[in-house]
Chains A and B, each alone.
Chain A
Amino acid sequence: MSQSEEDRQRFLIARIAAGDEKAFAALYETFEKRLFAFIRSKLNDPHEAADILHEIFMDVWRKAGKFEGRSKVSTWLMSIAFHKTVDRLRKKKGPHVALDDEAFEIADEGPGAADILQSAQEAAHVKTCLDKLPDVQRLVLHMAFFEELSYARIGEVMDRPEGTIKTRVYHAKQAMKKCLGLLLGEAA
């Protein structure tokens, strides 16, 4: 993203803090689809996802004056989205919704690279395996490959050190490889 786009977004936040509804609508139009896709990467229910999106932008309206500009606007918004989505998941699934890698099963010795590749060429296999990932693993992959965020920025969004994010992406990839290999075995 260009500096001028970041400047535009910061200007919109400043205008929103002053109660400008047009600036609010412009910021909504800029981020609504991205944030909704981000929420949906963890929540299957579109109505619930729409409610969370609503809550995020209500927070933006109420808290724009508190934005200090220490992070990018997009990072700030995604961080709100991340925490609200995790809160919702905890309400639904209980407090055991894990945010730390220790709680995830680490893939053991998996299938060979050729099998993984063959399976990965099937879009349906990739989708099935993404759906089976634990919530947080699916989310880091979304941030890495859809939002195209660096490890450092994913860390800002999730409030975790960069090293933790690297481990998380690594585990998510391992889990995907294991799942893709298994799917190929089932299809054979």
Chain B
Amino acid sequence: MTRNLTREEEEWLTAAINGTASEEQKAAAAALLADEETREAAGAEEAFLKALKSGVREGAEDIASPGAMGLQRLLRDIRAEKQNAGSGFSFASLPKAGRAFAVAAALALAVITGFTAARITGEEGSYRTAGLSEAGTLQVIFEPSAAEGEIRALLLEHDLEIVEGPSALGVYRLAQRRAQAQGLEELRAVLAAKETLIQSVEIE
């Protein structure tokens, strides 16, 4: 005479398969597999649980995680937070009008700094990565709600690379990887139209 398992008996088998069973539960599960009355049902449940475990593990182990890139992004953000905490300034805490002023001030400062540096060194964009276009750079502030994936897709779409940033004010400098048929002004206009992703974009 055979019978089906109770829910509690199924739980013992589940615990035995996922390795969390107590000694008592292990013994109870072994007894279910040995007992003539429950052997068939327990064997089927055990085989089902093994297949389920294998399926769950297979799916999860195949996933490629962000890895080192994710860590770099985190370290960049926590350093920016430290910097902000140190200066007692938080861009996000500013009201919208204040943010606009901060952005304008940052851009003005960047322009002045750029001119000064160019006059002192006689060079232009001396820290640019080799191979990047000499067409100039853009200063961009992304919307706080923009997701990393959306930003990455945008950069890839326009063959752009982050050459600096984010600054404490959240300003990034972007450069085209190669000279494009699309002029910098045209690119600026295209990016400016991405209102859900970009808060501000200026040619440097």
**Which of the candidate stretches A75-83, A94-102, A170-178 sits at the interface with the other chain?**
A170-178
- On whether the beta carbons of A130 and B147 are closer than 8 Å, the reply is no
Identify the closest chain B residue to A121 (Cβ): B51
Identify the closest chain A residue to B72 (Cβ): A25
Interface size class of A (residues with CB under 8 A): 35 or more
- On whether the beta carbons of B147 and A21 are closer than 8 Å, the reply is no
- On whether the beta carbons of A170 and B10 are closer than 8 Å, the reply is yes
**Which of the candidate stretches B58-66, B108-116, B130-138, B183-191 sits at the interface with the other chain?**
B58-66
- On whether the beta carbons of B56 and A51 are closer than 8 Å, the reply is no
A171 to B55, CA, bound (A): 17
Looking at the complex, which one of A32, A150, A151 makes contact with B70 (CB distance below 8 Å)?
A: A32
Looking at the complex, which one of B45, B53, B66 makes contact with A32 (CB distance below 8 Å)?
A: B66
Looking at the complex, which one of A54, A126, A150 makes contact with B74 (CB distance below 8 Å)?
A: A54
B77, CB-defined interface residue at 8 Å? yes
A158, CB-defined interface residue at 8 Å? no
A107, CB-defined interface residue at 8 Å? no
A149 to B56, CA, bound (A): 14
By a CB distance below 8 angstroms, the chain A residues around B67 are: 32
- Nearest CB in chain B: distance from A7 CB, A: 21
A84, CB-defined interface residue at 8 Å? no
A50 to B151, CA, bound (A): 13
Take A32-B70, A48-B147, A116-B44 as given contacts and tell me if A58 and B78 are in contact as well, using a CB distance cutoff of 8 Å.
yes
- Nearest CB in chain B: distance from A37 CB, A: 4
Looking at the complex, which one of B56, B58, B63, B149 makes contact with A141 (CB distance below 8 Å)?
A: B56
Interface size class of B (residues with CB under 8 A): 35 or more
By a CB distance below 8 angstroms, the chain A residues around B75 are: 21, 24-25
- On whether the beta carbons of B65 and A33 are closer than 8 Å, the reply is yes
A148 to B148, CA, bound (A): 31
A126 to B50, CA, bound (A): 11
Q: Which 7 A-B pairs have the closest CB atoms?
A: A47-B149, A126-B55, A120-B51, A36-B65, A150-B20, A113-B44, A37-B60
Apart from A37-B63, A46-B64, A47-B148, what are 5 other A-B pairs with CB-CB below 8 Å?
A41-B59, A121-B51, A126-B51, A166-B11, A169-B14
Q: What is the interface of chain A, defined by CB distance below 8 A to chain B?
A: 19, 21, 24-25, 28-29, 32-33, 36-37, 40-41, 45-48, 50-51, 53-54, 57-58, 61, 113-114, 116-117, 120-121, 123, 126-127, 130, 141-142, 144-146, 148-151, 166, 169-170, 173, 176-177
